Amino acid sequence: MNILVVEDDERVAELIKRGLEEQGYSVTLAYDGQTGKRLIQQQEFTLVILDIILPKINGLELCQQIRKIRSSLPIIMLTALGTTDDKVEGFDAGADDYLVKPFDLRELYVRIRARLNRSSLDAQSLGFLLKYADLEVNVDTKTVTRSGKSIQLTPKEYKLLEYMMRNAGRLLTRTEIAEKVWDTFFDTGTNFIDVYINYLRKKIDKDFDVKLIHTKTGMGFIFREEPLT
């Protein structure tokens, strides 16, 4: 398994490299976004660890470009920027997970294993059509329609919707959503889960009489056709 680390701080990059090699991974380093992009175009990688603040091409832009080159390549962002807006921006750019500096290398190992396990399961899964009320999701093509109207979702919005549909009628806590949809640990100091729920509501529910996404105050969210009592 070859991991690409794009990090302009050479000391941090070498620390990550040594730690991952001790875990049995092969590691390639890039110290700027332009080199990282070139390596992605030239080599096959299992996963990318990507800093946001990079010379030549910043991490957010590079993440978007990687998604155009290899749409399913797992990407973990490492950054000193830890606010909700920063995380949302990272996820919107296409990142699969987000780890704030400073971090414990053991946590990085856990995140990598979780991401690779998820990618393996995704590759083995069989596609089919999910239906709930008048909402349809084609798992093969990742397309969404409601009452025949096409709905455009970002990758993270799509993953959130698919998970909620597969667990319709069940209360989903923010912790569960963070772990199952983002493969990350829920930080109670941020509200990025609520931000994405609101994004999804605007696209799935806003223009329709029957609402499917409901909030149970202080507990979490439920995907169901009937309103909560």
Predicted TM-score (pTM) of this structure: 0.56
Tell me: do 29 and 118 sit in the same domain.
yes
* Rounded Cα gap, residues 92 and 86, in angstroms: 10
Tell me: do 170 and 184 sit in the same domain.
yes
Final residue before a domain boundary, out of 103, 124, 145: 124
Q: For the chain, give the DSSP string.
A: -EEEEE-S-HHHHHHHHHHHHHTT-EEEEESSHHHHHHHHHHS--SEEEEESS-SSS-HHHHHHHHHHH-TT--EEEEES--SHHHHHHHHHHT-SEEEESS--HHHHHHHHHHHHHHHHHHHHPPP-EEEETTEEEETTTTEEEETTEEE---HHHHHHHHHHHHTTTS-B-HHHHHHHHSSS---TT--HHHHHHHHHHHHHTTTSSS--EEEETTTEEEE-SSPP-
pLDDT band at 167 (very low <50, low <70, confident <90, very high): confident
Residues 18-39: tens digit of each pLDDT = 999 988 888 999 999 999 999 9
* Rounded Cα gap, residues 97 and 90, in angstroms: 9
Residues 28-78: tens digit of each pLDDT = 999 999 999 999 888 888 899 999 889 999 888 998 888 887 777 889 988
Final residue before a domain boundary, out of 77, 108, 124: 124
Domain tally, the chain: 2
Residue 198 resides in a domain: yes
Tell me: do 95 and 176 sit in the same domain.
no
Give me the domain span that covers residue 198.
129-223
Q: CB–CB of 168/224 below 8 Å?
A: yes
Which pLDDT value is given to residue 123? 43
Residue in the structure block whose two tokens are 């983002």: 182
* Rounded Cα gap, residues 9 and 60, in angstroms: 17
Tell me: do 80 and 192 sit in the same domain.
no
Q: CB–CB of 167/223 below 8 Å?
A: yes
Which pLDDT value is given to residue 122? 53
Q: Which of 146, 159, 155 is nearest to 203 (CA)?
A: 146
Tell me: do 12 and 117 sit in the same domain.
yes
Which pLDDT value is given to residue 82? 62
Q: Give helix 192-204 / helix 155-166 axis angle, nearest 10°.
A: 80
Tell me: do 42 and 119 sit in the same domain.
yes
Tell me: do 142 and 209 sit in the same domain.
yes
Tell me: do 64 and 172 sit in the same domain.
no
Residue 229 resides in a domain: no
105: domain CATH number is 3.40.50.2300
